Amino acid sequence: MSTAERFHAWLADRADEAVLRWTFRGILIAAVVVLALDLARLNGWLDHASASPQMSESQLDAPASEAPPLPERLVTLPQPDGVLANPISFELRGGGRLMATGTITAGSAQAFAAEIEKHGEYIKTVVLNSPGGSVGDALAIGRLIRARKFATEVEAGKYCASSCPLVFAGGAERRAGARAIIGVHQVAALKSASAAPPRDEMSLGQNISARCQRYLLEMGVNLQVWVHAMETPHDRLFIFKPDELKSLNLVTVPPDSSPEKPRT
């Protein structure tokens, strides 16, 4: 074998050794990374927010005795179905309790005003179970509730999200039952399908945000409520803990002091 042939054979052997050496190093590094991730999970160093559970309609409407534990703070926004997906409806029950159930749509404020016109002298508390909806209508309903000095309530195991807490904030007194789910997220400015000139979506969003902040201040609610809303993407939901509802003055009456509901 010539010198050149011996040299090329030596280079081939060295290349094989390098491939084997780097393969071994890659396997070793991968094993170290897996072990590190397992250690981080065991010690709770990783954020599990991305694995937050969704809430089903059956959970949202479960009776208080069967209501599930509160989910994580930040959850995927549940898609309403059943009665919650329908436009909000009103039903007057005993004890002056006006049940407001369903989605707040354009025109809901007018429907609420008409209900007040018919039964206002009998109403004491507006009881909410709603996934929210139209911000403008929610603000108008909340202001009418405050003007009439009605109380507001979210019953045990029921649901008030998105713009619904704005209605809830209108109550002269505000109660939330055990495991009531009250949550907020960002306002989504809907684009118009009409032939009108394009709107400045950023300006529109800021205007809505300013209106909501001014409203919450007037209702005596801590603006940290709105900070949580603006920090939460519109496809997620930030859920308040019971002690936060009280400390932020969103709830003003402890659950155990709620008036006894009439039996049906």
pLDDT digits (tens, 9 = 90+) for 202-259: 888 889 999 999 999 999 999 999 999 999 999 999 999 999 999 999 999 987 654 5
Q: What's the chain look like in SS3?
A: CCHHHHHHHHHHHHHHHHHHHHHHHHHHHHHHHHHHHHHHHHCCCCCCHHHCCCCCHHHHCCCHHHCCCCCCCEEECCCCCHHHHCECEEEEEHHHEEEEECEECCCHHHHHHHHHHHHCCCCCEEEEEECCECHHHHHHHHHHHHHCCCEEEECCCCEEECCHHHHHHCCCCEEECCCCEEEECCCCCCCCCCCCCCCCHHHHHHHHHHHHHHHHHHCCCCCHHHHHHHHCCCCEEEECCHHHHHHCCCCCECHHHCCCCCCC
Check whether 177 has a pLDDT greater than 60: yes
The answer to which of 119-123, 220-224, 260-264 has the lowest mean pLDDT is 260-264
- Mean pLDDT score across all residues of the chain: 79
Amino acid 44: pLDDT: 45
Predicted structure pTM score = 0.70
* Average pLDDT, integer, range 129-144: 97
Which pLDDT score, from 0 to 100, does residue 204 have? Answer: 84
- 51-98 pLDDT, tens digit each: 333 344 444 444 444 444 444 588 999 889 899 999 999 999 999 999
Output the pLDDT for position 22: 56
